[in-house]
Chains A and B, each alone.
Chain A
């Protein structure tokens, strides 16, 4: 392995040194011609979303963003929901759709219990927006009773924890999988303004 690494690095240096043509200027580059084009936004669900889907025993999962302060679905978000719905329709009948949505702040810490009323309302409104759009995706089936909405602006209530409801289990799973809360130092896996939608099919 170390020989391969040394060879790889040597080839790099020699390739660059042997280049006699000046680098082509790409007119589509940004203002600074030396920088590469910015990476396209990630279109696949995050690891935390995939791990949550695995726990729910489904591979049908998508993840998208909301604009800060907005509850309106963007064009990209609608496209992701449409793609997910098409894939689900091809594979079978829907048992349940779980919609997990964040406000514009991280999940509240155990001390905080819930974000501000404004943020709680934002997460709820986003959930409602997604539910209404999903209902349009399935004109031939009534899916409204099959859509579970989970708001990440509030921690689960004492009652939900006691009966180990879906709300409590999903939130506990996400915390175990590394999503930060409002007091966490490491916000790498943060999901502010995001939503995860997963679809479970009837077995």
Chain B
């Protein structure tokens, strides 16, 4: 039979445990609301140009994470919505924790950003203001950022249907090593997106040295099987030209060091046809452009693969310069002498 004293200490233990558990449950229920209210207050006031608002904050204690839901950004002047994000999940980077570092990974889902026309007129928030917002939302250093299902709408540019603004859709990307050190100075980024043609994916892979001043970066980009006839509404309006058929593959490398940029773009156009048999021409200028383009294609087209290609080298040092002579010679080379190789050449690489 158990002694009386032992019974009392057991129930005391259970009472204390229950109280602690209840306190934790209450904290878990109350804390998100308290933090959310305080955070929204800061986000509403930190910038002179815009305010941010979060609908919901959830804590995920077991995996060491928290998430924001229903984030919106409004311009203060006209209450125009420039940002909408479905979810931002902030979690501990466990792989770094085992190395003795406390960093976070961020995943943003369903981010829709409107790049407003008058962005240059905006006042830049002060460094302290930016830091306040960042430290409240993301108190630990960010090691990796993932973007899923994003889009950017360019307010200054019309979409091809001329009814809406131009939008880049299905943006998915990742940026890693956002906390570089001297041994491992490069941050890496990847991006895929759809521009106009839902069957052609733009792929970008690049690196960035944020420790260098000025910033150093490079990227490789590729887009294949882009259907040129989808661009007809744009071409007809801005330069009287329309494509009956044709696909474009585009390869590009760009690097920026010491504030100067250089790179190339390699377009490969296949099965191009610019003049249909019974095409309706808007005016003589439209007809003239189409005729010249058709002749150009006919002359430069490589006979076996029926492709036109060239390599356009460029530089940008306060002014953009394109090497037109070399561009023309490469086009002729592809058509008559030696086909150009499709693909990235690895000509530029950040060390």
| Residues of A in contact with B (beta carbons under 8 Å apart) | 2, 4-6, 8-13, 15-16, 23, 26, 32, 34-42, 44, 46-48, 50-51, 53-55, 57, 59, 176-178, 186, 188, 203
Contact = CB atoms under 8 A, between A and B. Distances in A.
A79 B203 CA distance: 27
Interface in B320-351: 322, 324, 327-328, 331, 333-346, 349
B203 A44 contact: no
A177 B176 CA distance: 16
B224 interface: yes
B334 A5 contact: no
A32 B303 CA distance: 10
B220 A50 contact: yes
B183 A203 contact: yes
Contacts of B177: 57
B51 to A, nearest CB: 34
B343 A9 contact: no
A26 B295 CA distance: 24
Nearest to B294: A9
Contacts of A59: 186, 207, 349
Contacts of A176: 172, 192
A41 B203 CA distance: 21
A13 B201 contact: no
A199 B145 CA distance: 23
Contacts of A4: 322, 324
Contacts of B199: 186
B190 A55 contact: yes
Given A39-B341, A44-B346, A51 B205 contact: yes
Given A9-B292, A36-B302, A57-B176, 18 more contacts: A4-B324, A12-B328, A12-B331, A13-B296, A36-B336, A37-B337, A39-B338, A39-B340, A39-B341, A46-B343, A47-B220, A54-B190, A55-B188, A57-B184, A177-B190, A177-B192, A188-B224, A203-B184
Interface residues of B, number: 53
A181 to B, nearest CB: 16
Q: Which 4 A-B pairs have the closest CB atoms?
A: A39-B339, A2-B239, A54-B188, A42-B343
A36 B335 contact: yes
Interface of B: 172, 174, 176-177, 183-184, 186, 188-190, 192, 199, 201, 203, 205-207, 220, 222, 224-225, 238-239, 289, 292-293, 295-296, 299-300, 302-304, 322, 324, 327-328, 331, 333-346, 349
A178 B224 CA distance: 12
A35 B302 CA distance: 7
Most buried by B among A6, A15, A39: A39
Contacts of A50: 205, 220, 344
A92 B302 CA distance: 45
A11 B225 CA distance: 28
B247 to A, nearest CB: 11
Contacts of B340: 39
A27 to B, nearest CB: 13
A178 B328 contact: no
B172 A44 contact: no
B319 to A, nearest CB: 14
